Amino acid sequence: MTPEQLIRTLEQRVARLGDYLKRTAPRLVGDIAINHIREDFARGGLTHNGFRPWVKTRRQQSGGTSASSQYGPLLSKRNHLMHSIDKQTGEGRVTVYTDVPYAAIHNRGGTLHPKVTPKMRKFAWAMYYKETGITRKMKRGGKARKNRQLNESEEAKNWKRLALTRKTQLNIRIPRRQFMPDIPGPELVRKINTRLDADIEKIMNPK
């Protein structure tokens, strides 16, 4: 290879590297970060200088038998919060975010003060019946209905308390279950660097 050919080859590789860092790398970094966060949702905690499990939910501790009782913290049938994690890329940059309104309160923790509305009470009764297995066909005072009422889980009791409360406003403390820290942890940084280093090596030293 002549000096001219070497220079031209190096210029081509540097150009490819620049294009990779501006356009491809941000998308890859965003995908790696999103997958890392979603893996934490599945594990039920935050991986940041080690793994830190999230505080268990009341429904987990209540011993309920419904499907909703089996979901871990921040998880549900739809997993709306987990699937809301997305990315926005630009030239040489990427932002990972969620636009779910209640994401911040879960990420940082805090206290909510929702009003107890008729709609909320109706929903609480619906959840109570779902949790206990009571159906409209069961007669009031009937044996089947009484058995379910006597064996209602702690979660079912909580729904009934909400439906019957005389309060017009609640104070609900949300424990901190951080899933998006301000600064990426070393585990995520290591994943990103491993991928970028391998790609850069292929660009600068192709076989």
Predicted confidence at residue 65, as pLDDT, reads 60
With cut-offs at 50, 70 and 90, classify the pLDDT of residue 175: very high
Host domain of residue 90: 3-110+178-204
> What average pLDDT does range 46-59 have in this prediction?
93
- Predicted confidence (pLDDT) per residue in 2-45, tens digit: 888 888 888 999 999 999 999 999 999 999 999 999 999 999 99
Residue 37 and residue 90 share a domain:
yes
Same domain as 14, residue 75: yes
**pLDDT tens digits along 128-166:** 998 899 998 898 888 889 999 988 888 889 899 999 999
Same domain flag for 190 and 88: yes
With beta carbons less than 8 A apart as the criterion, state whether 169 and 115 touch: yes
Amino acid letter at 185?
G
Q: Are residues 165 and 183 in the same domain?
A: no
3-state secondary structure of 117: coil
pLDDT band at 69; cut points 50, 70, 90: low
What are the tens digits of pLDDT across the range 187-204?
Answer: 999 999 999 999 999 999
Do 76 and 28 reside in the same domain of the chain?
A: yes
CA 59 to CA 131: how far, in whole Å? 11
Q: What is the pLDDT of residue 66?
A: 62
Residue-level pLDDT at 64:
59
Per 3-state DSSP, the chain is made up of helix, strand and coil in percentages (nearest 5) of: 55, 10, 35
Q: Are residues 80 and 139 in the same domain?
A: no
* 49 and 96 assigned to the same domain: yes
Per residue in 76-130, pLDDT (tens digit) is 888 999 999 999 999 999 999 999 999 999 999 999 999 999 999 999 999 999 8
Tell me, yes or no, whether 7 and 76 share the same domain.
Answer: yes
Distance of CA 99 to the CA centre of its chain: 12
The region that residue 128 occupies, defined by phi over 0 for left and psi between -120 and 50 for alpha, beta otherwise, is alpha
**In contact, 67 and 76? CB cutoff 8 Å:** no
How many domains in the chain? 2
Please tell me whether residues 86 and 134 are part of one structural domain.
Answer: no
Same domain, 50 and 69: yes
Is 88 found in the same domain as 72?
yes
Q: What are phi and psi of 43, to 5 degrees?
A: -80, -20
Are 26 and 119 within one domain?
A: no
**pLDDT at residue 70 above 80?**
no
